[in-house]
Amino acid sequence: MVKEAIEDVKRGTADTELNRRKVQIHTGGGVFQDRSWSDVRVGDILKVVSDEVFPADLLLLSSSDPDGNCYVETMNLDGETNLKLRKSLDETKMLTEFAFSTFKARLECEKPNEQLYSFVGNLTVGEGDSMTSIHLSPQQILLRGSTLRNTSFALGVVIFTGFETKIMLNATDPPSKRSRIEKRLDWIVLCQLILLAAMSLCTAIVFAARTGKEMKDFWYLAPGQTSGTDNISRNMFNADAPVLAAVFSFFTSFVLYGYFIPISLYVSIEIVKIFQALLINADLKMYYEDTDQPAFARTSNLNEELGQVQTVLSDKTGTLTRNEMEFIRCSIAGVSYGRGTTEVERAAAAMLGQSFHNDDEGCAATEMQPLEKGFNFRDIRLSDQNWLSETNADVIRRFLEILAVCHTVIPDGVPDPSTIRYMAESPDEAALVVAAKRLGFFFYKRSTKAVWVKEFGTNGRVWDRKYDILNVLEFNSSRKRMSVIVRDPDGQLLLFTKGADNVICERLGRNGQEFKRMTVLHMNEYAEAGLRTLALAYAPLDEQMFLTWKESWEEAKKDVRDAKVQAGKLDALSEEIEKNLILVGATAIEDKLQAGVPQTIDTLARAGIKLWVLTGDKMETAINIGYACSLLRHNMVQHILSISEDQEVMAAEESKNKSYIEEVSKACVIRQIRASLKALRNDASSGPGYTDRSHALIVDGKSLTYAVSDDDPITSREFLELGMSCESVICCRVSPKQKADVTALVKREGKEVCLSVGDGANDVGMIQEANIGVGISGLEGQQAVMAADFAIGQFRFLERLLLVHGGWCYKRISRMINYFFYKNFVFGFTIFFFNAHAFFAGQSIYADWYLSIYNVVFTSLPICVVAVLDQDVKDTMRIKYAALYRQGQKNTYFNVKNISVWLLNGVMQSSVIFFSLKAFYQLRSDRDDGKTVGMYHVGTTMYTCVVMTVNLQLAIAIQFWTWLHHFTVWGSICIWFIFLLAVGEFPYKLVGPIRRIFVSDVGTAPSFYLVVIVVVIMALLPDFVMRSFVRNWLPDDHHIVQEIQRMQRQEENVQPRASMKRKEGEAATPRRSPLILKAASFHEAVGFSGFLRPDSVHSPALGVSGEHKRMSSVDSSTGKVLECRSMPGSGGTTPSHALAFVPMGNVEKTEIKQCEGEPQRSPSAPASPATLGAAGMRAARRNVAGLPPKVSAGKKVAGSDTVGEWSSGEVLKDSQPSIAHHGRDWSSEEVLKDSQPSSAHHGR
């Protein structure tokens, strides 16, 4: 409540400061006076000066610029830092401060809505016959929250104020998200509450039974007295009313046992999560220097959820790629222009193991740099106006004309080709305009009604051309195209269009398909090279037809009642005029991959995270991007869902019957989904060679419409099953709504923790829909970041965010919750046991002071520090051994088993403490005068044991010690003794019978210290033994990596000492026992030569006996237990070994030994093809493809001549082979790849 009150006060103070800001309001006669923002009303004319924030949504009337333009910064709205140009109407741009006395106009507009990038309205200027109605667009709107820049002043009329402004309508609370652990915690607390009620009920029943039966014999309780304690006596100890006694006993016990419920847990978790979020924000390894963007946790509620992600749904453009567009190729009149290989072509060729001819090999590296930002096109046939001599020069000229005119780009600066800047809504559009400029059509000026282009010819000739803009048919995600209707300098009426290839090709006329076949072929080639393509077309328009259409367009624009209704009418009119197009060509733009994307995707895959890519690109483009970024591999079985080339669908489309087309298309999609599912199931049942094949699913947007539909949940579930069965999924040509729908399907039906990552406004839906939303601050603004739960600068930082911070936070929060319940069980059961010992009379053995501060002072701070700072392994090891992340996916540390172990340990330790102390104090007195100790004396001793036990239990569990850990753990124990000394000096009125209890009685007896030490050891010993056994014989994944980490530290410490000894003249190679040499050789054989040296092998707990290392495992084919022995090798300076698999029973022994004829290979040297042999090469190829090697028990291991491989219990579960070593298993796949341990372990 205090926190909420402080936040309310801060919000109120901020609101007051905002409302008191000043702005100039026109009061008449050209006079502007400063007024508060709270005084602004609709219809007021405001004057906003440079660097001031607009207090309301305004219609721009004029500005200090002669053309009526002004620049605004919309960072507070969408996070974009680039300035945007706003243009006033030609009818109002000449208005000055003194002209408003006579200026009259009427404004009609849509109702207030949250759409930042749309505005529908009309401005009627003049009176009577001179009235003129002008359509308004977002270009004339100045939104509240944006800032005026680079303009002295701007004059505008207020449209919306207060909560009706667009920024306030967008200021809605984001979807409430809670982690799975937090939701499970609620159920656990509920179960604890039920347990508390059950214990209280049992206490009440037993107490009532004993009261009715035995209370009359307890004369010293005086149950019949009517004075003094008569109320208590009648209620609690009245033998004549046992039911009433039971009721009072129930509520007494409910309060007394309330310490089972960790009330402070939720508060502690919130504090811990805040500090975890601060650590994420401060991680310099996730800082992107180019944009000065650190990682930022916008919420702390989902820290641990980062450690349980199973599926990542990612945008492509700007997320996997840089969103830095470069014009690189084009197709004009059926001829392809542009040379050079793209980054995707080179990467995909490398992934496929093919050699790729690069026609740029003769160019220097500097020559292949972009000639200009957005332009990396090289072809002498078009450069320097050489296109004028091409066969289809007129078509090329039309192509460049469309590039220079069909756009919404605004030029900025001096109209000089070398200095002008283009301000575009997307990098694609700017790149196309730059390409037109570089090829001879220089766009340099724009007004609301025209654009000006300079056409460069040969011999330095320049023609200045003006194109009148009659209409702009804007681009949107459903139309997937934009068009402009212009009148060219020759007076011809033309429609210029650019858009997606499938959309443009559907609207071609009969005479416009001359270049269609070759253009489509080239666009497919460009898409395979990973390029983004757009088709360009035009159509000459009939004057009379255009005038008729124009009237209908104007009527639709006047309807400002509903923006959606108006948009529907305008789209229908656009369809009417955008037909009979003539195809001119296509453009190809390269968007290069971000640094580290392939490596990140590979690491996420090794961590068991599936990746779905949702993109608006063509299927061919997405597939090749998939190859380039390691999402797809050449040996993957690809399941493609596409209806574009299905014969039945094509036949149905010829009928023009919409309902019939939808019916056939849906049936086609269902048929393809079920065929792919059948193929997957057949692979699963076909045995070796098929079950290990990787699968990928590729879906186009049309098919996705029918695959993910609320009207057909069965098909949606089948599609999800297919997607979940594949390692990679790519959805192409998807809309923003489809992205959100797919994310909702995976989250809802897949029952998996899904994370969505994107960088643009079109990704906001899926980011908000996912369990976790991650926004990348890119060139498309900050909309995704503002809607996300976490923000990062590059996709590669997702690796560290999930594997390091996510893995740590999951384990930390899980341990914190388990520990909180454990320590409350230890404390609570001692209270329960004493209450049972005291006839269930509701008596506590602890003083009230002890009860009040147990959770707050003595036990909370250490676990909070652990939950913030504890690390199972280093960050670098968590990334290197990515399989550690699967512990979170499987919820290893917060499942019923793990929680039960902690709780049972708490019950056991509580029993040991209580009954040990009870027995001790029954045997002897602890006072000098021979008198027995009192209840609170025993309670103080018991409390001391509890505090020391729970803190030392935490010390045993800590895996990463810092000075803070030492300070809080040992400090909490010390504070207890300091508290005993301090509370003993308090007045009796405050502390009662515990005054001076420690300094006078308890602390003066030597037996107190002895019994505390013995009892604490007895309580902790079972858990310590079990942990030691598990670590040595049934280790978890992180235990193995911790051993490797320890060996690395020892190696680092040993090497400097060894160098110093050699300098002093000692032997460079000290004598070592054969056992040590064998252990070191075994490490080197499996690829850990850098982790273990004979110097560092000193642990007696390796379980080695005599000359043989013994382990046991399970034969994957027979299921029999095998015994594994390391056998001594023969001769040579480098010891060699083999592993023998001996079935434990009357089964013939099978041994794996180094072949006599094979060459001796250095254990630390990489395996060569000759050394690996055929089986090894097959395993290596499978490993490169990301597949686990297939090795049966008793067969030679690929990748090593000196080690064997078998399947353990975990292998049987996860189909991952392992290599056993020192009582642990190592994944042979990881050894072949980068020496990383698997998730399989000996004894599982």
501 labelled binding-site residue: no
7 labelled binding-site residue: no
Element (H, E) at 244: helix 242-256
44 labelled binding-site residue: no
Alpha-carbon distance values, 1219 to 536, 1112, 1118, 1164, 1237 (Å): 59, 12, 18, 17, 9
Q: Are 705 and 713 in contact (CB under 8 A)?
A: no
762 labelled binding-site residue: yes
Task: Report the alpha-carbon distance of residue 671 to residue 1099 in Å, rounded.
Answer: 61
Residue with tokens 């990704």: 763
733 labelled binding-site residue: yes
Ordered alpha helix ranges (H), 757-806: 764-769, 783-787, 797-800
* Nearest to 1078, CA basis, from 1104, 1055, 1117, 1059: 1104
Q: Are 427 and 531 in contact (CB under 8 A)?
A: no
315 labelled binding-site residue: yes
In sequence order, the 6+-apart residues with CB closer than 8 A to the CB of 517 are: 334
Plot region of 14 (φ>0 → left; ψ -120 to 50 → alpha; else → beta): alpha
* Residue at 1029: amino acid letter: F
* Nearest to 782, CA basis, from 77, 272, 195, 156: 77
Q: Are 445 and 452 in contact (CB under 8 A)?
A: yes
691 labelled binding-site residue: no
Task: Report the alpha-carbon distance of residue 75 to residue 86 in Å, rounded.
Answer: 15
710 labelled binding-site residue: no
Task: Report the alpha-carbon distance of residue 1002 to residue 1006 in Å, rounded.
Answer: 9
DSSP string, 1011-1064: HHHHHHHHHHHHHHHHHHHHHHHS--HHHHHHHHHHHHHHHHHHHHHHHHHHHT
In sequence order, the 6+-apart residues with CB closer than 8 A to the CB of 894 are: 181, 184, 810, 814, 817, 818
Task: Report the alpha-carbon distance of residue 481 to residue 477 in Å, rounded.
Answer: 8
How many residues are there in the chain?
1244
Sheet of 1108-1114, strands arranged across: 1104-1105, 1108-1114, 1121-1128, 1137-1143, 1150-1151
Q: Which residues make beta-bridge pairs with 1125?
A: 1110, 1140
Going by DSSP bridges, is the β-strand pair 772-776/754-758 parallel, antiparallel, or unpaired?
Answer: parallel
* Residue at 747: amino acid letter: K
Is 1001 among the catalytic positions?
no
In sequence order, the 6+-apart residues with CB closer than 8 A to the CB of 1176 are: 1167, 1169, 1198, 1199
For 718-782, list the strands marked E by DSSP. 728-731, 754-758, 772-776
Element (H, E) at 841: none
| 300: its two tokens | 């702390």
Give the number of other CB atoms < 10 A from CB of residue 966: 14
Residue with tokens 């601060």: 278
Residue with tokens 């235990």: 1039
57 labelled binding-site residue: no
147 labelled binding-site residue: no
663 labelled binding-site residue: no
316 labelled binding-site residue: yes
* Nearest to 387, CA basis, from 157, 581, 585: 585
1063 labelled binding-site residue: no
Determine the straight-line distance between the first and last CA of the chain, rounded to whole angstroms: 49
In sequence order, the 6+-apart residues with CB closer than 8 A to the CB of 746 are: 311, 313, 612, 720, 723, 752, 754
Instruction: Identify the active-site residue in 44, 65, 315, 700.
Output: 315
Task: Report the alpha-carbon distance of residue 207 to residue 244 in Å, rounded.
Answer: 11
| 656: its two tokens | 């023009």
Annotated binding site: 315-317, 429, 475, 498, 532, 615-617, 733, 739, 759, 762-763
Annotated binding site for ATP: 315-317, 429, 475, 498, 532, 615-617, 733, 739, 762-763
Which residues carry out catalysis?
315
Annotated binding site for Mg(2+): 315, 317, 759, 763
